[in-house]
Amino acid sequence: MDNGFDSPKPTPRITLSSELQNITSTTDPSITLSSQDLLGPKELGDERKRFWNMLALLIPMTGYQSPEHRTVQVLDIACGKCREGFVLSTYFGGNRFGNPSPNVLVSGIDINPDDINTANENNSSYDIDRKTRVPMFNYQFINGDATNLDQYPQLPQTADVFVIRHQQISSNEVTWTTIFQQAIDRLGENGIGIITSFSDVEHDMLIGKLEQLHCEVVMNKPNPHAEPTETQGVSVDRHIAIVKKGSLASGILI
Ligand SMILES: C[S@@+](CC[C@H](N)C(=O)[O-])C[C@H]1O[C@@H](n2cnc3c(N)ncnc32)[C@H](O)[C@@H]1O
C-alpha cells in the first residue's frame, strides 16, 4: 500500500503531531481552534513529513545505526526554531512517525534568542490541567554561539548524529566553517552529520569546504523530498550532505 512514506522501519502512518492531538482532544471551551489556527500546525506537519521521508530514504544508505542501550545524542546546530525536533527524536529513536522517543536527547543551539524560544515551544507538550505548554525532558535548547561549543557543558561531548539544517555558508564563510568543524569534532566514531542547504550555490560552497575539513563526505545528493519555495532555485532541504568523522580525503560518494 502506498502510504506516502519511504520507510525502512515498521510502516509509519500519518498522524497529527502529538501536541496538536492534545489540543484538539480537549473539551475545555476556552480552547477553540479556527481553521486559521490549524494552518500553522498543518504546514509544520507537512514539513515534518518531508523531513521524515528524506531521512527514511537516505539514512539507511549510510549504514548508520542508532545505539540501542543508551540515550541517542542528537545535536541540532544552528537549529533556529527546530521544526524538525520531533522527527529527529522519532526517527533516531526507531519509532513510527509521530512518536518521539524518550531514548533520544535532542540538544539544539542557536545564536538567536527568539528562535530558541520558539524551538522550546515547538518541542513542548500541552498540559491540559495547567492549560499551558510544558518543556519535555528529552529536548534542550540553548541560546549560544556554535563557533565555540565548549562554552556549553550541557551539550553532549559526543553526538551520534548532528544536524545543520539550511547551513548559511554564503553569509559568513569563516563563521560557518568554524561551525562545521565544531560539529564534526563532536561526532562519535559511528556517528553521522546531516547538513542541508537551501540552494545549489550554497550547497556547492558547503561541499567545497567540507572537502578541506577533517571529515568524510559519504553522501551528497539532491533531496527528492525537498519542498519548493516561491523563490526559484530555493527549496526547503534542497540538497543533503552526510558526513562521518574521517580524514581529509573524501571517500566514495553514495
Ligand atoms: C538559515 S537559518 C537555519 C535555521 C534552522 N536550522 C532551519 O532550518 O530553519 C541559519 C541559522 O543559523 C543561526 N546562526 C548563525 N550564526 C550562528 C552561530 N554563530 N551560532 C549559532 N547559530 C548561528 C541563525 O540564528 C539561524 O537560525
Confidence of residue 251 (pLDDT cuts 50, 70, 90): low
The CB of 84 under 6 Å from ligand 1? The reply is: no
Q: Cα separations (Å) of 132 from 42, 120, 129, 155?
A: 20, 13, 8, 27
Q: State the pLDDT at residue 167.
A: 98
Minimum CA distance residue for ligand 1 atom 26: 80
Please, what is the average pLDDT of the chain?
86
Q: Is 142 in the pocket of ligand 1 (CB under 6 A)?
A: no
Ligand 1 neighbour 47 (Cβ under 6 A): no
Is 155 touching ligand 1 by the criterion CB < 6 Å?
A: no
Q: How far is the CA of 14 from the centre of ligand 1 (A)?
A: 29
pLDDT of 3 strictly over 70: no
CA 80 / ligand 1 centre spacing (Å) = 5
CA of 78 to the centre of ligand 1 (A): 4
The number of the ligand 1 atom at minimal distance from the alpha carbon of 164 is 6
What's the confidence (pLDDT) of residue 247?
A: 60
Please indicate whether residue 202, judged by its CB atom, sits closer than 6 Å to ligand 1.
no
Strand, helix or coil at 66? coil
The set of residues, in sequence order, having a beta carbon less than 8 Å from that of 46 and lying 6+ positions away, is 227
CB contact burial 92-123 (16+ within 10 A = b; e otherwise): bbbbebbebbebbbbbbbbeeeebbebbbebb
Residue with cell 552529520: 193
Check if the beta carbon of residue 97 is closer than 8 Å to that of residue 52. yes
Check residue 8 and give its pLDDT. Answer: 39
Å from CA of 3 to ligand 1 middle? 33
* Percent over 90 (pLDDT), the chain: 73
The protein residue with its alpha carbon nearest to ligand 1, atom 4, reads 80
CA-closest residue to ligand 1 atom 19? 145
The residues facing 72 across adjacent strands are 104
Q: What is the pLDDT of residue 42?
A: 84
Nearest CA to ligand 1 atom 9: 80
Handedness of CA 224, 226, 229, 235 (dihedral sign): negative
In the numeric block, which cell numbers belong to residue 19? Answer: 501536541
Domains defined along the chain, listed by start: 18-245 (3.40.50.150)
Chain segment 28-45, per-residue pLDDT in tens: 333 344 444 455 778 889
The tens digit of pLDDT for each residue in 140-194 reads 999 999 999 999 999 999 999 999 999 999 999 999 999 999 999 999 999 999 9
Q: Is the CB of 165 inside a 6 Å radius of any atom of ligand 1?
A: yes
